[in-house]
Structure 1
Amino acid sequence: MPAIPFSSALKPLVDFIYPPRCPLCGEGTAAGPGLCGACWDTLDFPGEPACTQCQTPLETAAMGSICTACHLHRPEHAGIAAAMLYNDPARQLVLRFKHGGRIGLAKLMGRLIAARLVNAPADAVLIAVPLHRVRLWMRGYNQAALLARAISTHTGMAVMVDGLKRTRATPKLGGLGRKQRAKVLRGAIRVNEARAASIRGRHVVLVDDVLTSGATSSACVRALLVAGAKSVRIACFARVADQSTSDIATPKHETPETAKVPGAA
Structure 2
Amino acid sequence: MPNVATDTRAGKTEPRRLRRRVRAGRTLAGLIWPQRSLITHRELPGPGALEPGLWSKLTFITGQQCARCGLPFEIAVEPDQVCGACLADPPAYDRARAALIYGDISRDLVLGLKYQGRRDGLGMLSGWMGNAGAELLAGADLITPVPLHYFRLIWRGFNQSGWLAAALAQSSGVRLSVDTLKRVKATPIQGNLSADARRRNVQGAFKVRSSRLKLVKGKRVVLVDDVLTTGATAEACARTLKRAGAACVDVITLARVAGPRTATI
Q: Distance in 1 between matches of 2:248 and 2:261?
A: 27
Deviation at 1:131, TM superposition (A): 0.3
Partner of 1:240: 257
Using the TM superposition, name which of 165-174 and 145-154 deviates more: 165-174
The alignment's C-alpha RMSD in Å is 2.1
**Normalised TM-score (structure 1):** 0.85
Residue-by-residue CA offset, 1:49-93 (whole Å, 9 max, x unaligned): 321222201122222432221122112322112111100000111
Runs (5+) with no aligned partner, structure 1:
251-260
Equivalent position of 1:126 in the other structure: 143
Task: Indicate which of 39, 43, 46 corresponds to 1:24.
Answer: 39
Identity %: 36
Structure 2 counterpart of 1:236, one-letter code: T
Q: 1:13-162, aligned counterparts within 5 Å? A: 13-25=28-40, 26-32=42-48, 34-63=49-78, 64-120=80-136, 121-162=138-179
Tell me if the contact between 1:84 and 1:239 (Cα under 8 Å) persists in the aligned partners: yes
Cα distance change on mapping 1:75 and 1:245 into 2, 3 Å: closer
Equivalent residue of 1:228, what SS? coil
Change (3 A) 1:29 1:231: farther
Q: Is the 8 A contact 1:29 1:35 kept in 2?
A: no
**How far off is 1:106 after superposition?**
2.2
Distance 1:124 1:244, change over 3 A: closer
1:195 equivalent in alignment to 2:212? yes
Aligned AA for 2:96? I
Q: Which range is displaced more, 22-31 or 163-172?
A: 22-31
2:219–2:246 Cα contact (<8 Å) kept: yes
Counterpart of 2:18? Answer: 4
SS where residue 18 of structure 2 aligns?
A: coil
| In structure 2, distance between residues paired with 1:175 and 1:95 | 16
Larger Rg: 2
1:123 Cα offset (Å): 4.3
Q: Return closer, same or farther for 1:8/1:165 CA change in 2, 3 Å cut-off.
A: farther
The Cα of 1:28 is off from its aligned counterpart by 0.9
Q: Give a deviation string over 1:95-127, Cα, whole Å, max 9, x none.
A: 111111213332221121112222123542110
> Contact conserved, 1:127 with 1:205, CA < 8 A, in 2?
yes
The Cα shift of 1:186 comes to 1.9
CA change 1:54–1:244 in 2 (3 A) is: closer
- Corresponding residue of 2:247: 230
Q: Tell me the CA shift for residue 176 of structure 1.
A: 4.2
